[in-house]
Amino acid sequence: MQIATQPAMPADDGFIDASAAGNIARWLRAETHASDVRVTTFERLPGGAIQDNWTLDVEIDGGPWQGTHGLVLRTDAPSGVAVSLTRAQEFEVLSVAHAGGVTAPKPLFLCRDLEVIGRVFFLMQRMRGLAAGHRLTREALLVPDADALAESLGANLARIHAIRPPRADLGGLPPPAPDHARATIAGYRAYLDGLEDAYPALEWGLRWCETHASAPWETALIHRDYRTGNYLVDGGRLSAVLDWEFAGWGDPREDLGWFTARCWRFGAQGREAGGIAPLEPFLRGYERVAGRSIDRAGLDYWQAMAHLRWAIIALQQAQRHVAGGERSLELALTGRIVHELEYELLQLIAGEAR
């Protein structure tokens, strides 16, 4: 999970350095059937707590890819959260989503050969735009027509949810649970039970979600991190949905709750659609493509689940600092977010928050 702030990745983690560019050029020459490939830019992108992203420009001579290309290389950071997909799985998901008409970077090449840079990685098209949630929610000039952006975000999410199991081309994903909400609750409880401390507010949230669960929606591909901060906006329009590492089969309402939850509005609490716009245009766009929408009770329920999920992830981040040997102020402060998430979760349960 990419966390809300921008962690500084160490540049010398011993895995990748600028000399990898030569290996990538040689590998790409074979992949693209070119006579020559030159990597002219190779720089690490900031902001990946789990994934390690590099921007590169390549010049290709000969073959079907002849020309210059702006690419992003995506690989694993030295440590991550256990539940995320492997790069090969993520490449698979992104390929299916892109082919399904989802606005996302086109995935181009997957490299499983560890001889090239020491880790599995893939290359995708580099998209233009800004992702920073704290800017998109504050600077009106960046989003001149917020309702239109929210509507296209809703429509785009529905296109992801149109991908349904079984799919032979998504064979790498874990099989869907019969009831996503209950399976999720069981997973969170199992995680909490392994911790030294106890969290009654989260426990009460889980009990409330258990007793208030409604019939599941039909299982679909869900993104599981579809929120402001994880998509690019260029010229006021959606240009790409990023960060597919948590995607999997599940109940589509989880994504609707995650996108609209207070914890992902970057302080713009009055704009329920990701801090960007009111709820209505977002749901209108969703309904136009999906043919169905979510009611208020359903949205409250999945916003409560969103706060639970974020709290569990924040606890995982805190554990990396406290017990995982990765001493980091950023991770330590992420742990302190749990109090706020508990507070918002309880407001939702008490029926007092929107």
Integer Rg of the chain from CA:
20
In the complex, least distance from residue 307 CB atom to other proteins, rounded to whole angstroms:
11
Phi-psi map region of 229: left, alpha, beta (phi>0 left; psi -120 to 50 alpha):
left
DSSP H helices, the chain, are: 20-31, 87-99, 114-117, 133-136, 146-161, 180-193, 200-211, 253-260, 279-290, 296-322, 329-349
Of the pair 58, 331, the CB lying nearest other proteins is at 331
Q: How far is the CB of 214 from other proteins (least distance, A)?
A: 17
Provide the token pair at 46: 């900031």
Q: Write out the residues near other proteins by the rule CB under 8 A.
A: 5-6, 8, 189, 192, 196-201, 203-204, 206-207, 211, 329-330, 332-333, 336-337, 339-340, 342-343, 346-347, 349-350
Packing angle, helices 296-322 and 180-193, rounded to 10: 30
Residue 146 CB, shortest distance to other proteins, in Å, is 24
The phi, psi pair for 51, rounded to 5°, reads -100, 155
Instruction: Please say which residue, 6 or 293, places its beta carbon nearer to other proteins.
Output: 6
Does residue 314 contact residue 340 with C-beta atoms inside 8 Å? no
Taking the complex as a whole, how short is the minimal distance between the CB of residue 337 and other proteins, in angstroms?
A: 8
Q: Specify the residue, 120 or 306, whose C-beta has the smaller distance to other proteins.
A: 306
CB nearer other proteins, residue 20 or residue 192 = 192
- Is 200 or 291 the residue whose CB approaches other proteins more closely? 200
Closest CB 304 distance from other proteins, rounded Å: 12
Helix (H, G, I), strand (E, B) or coil at 66: coil
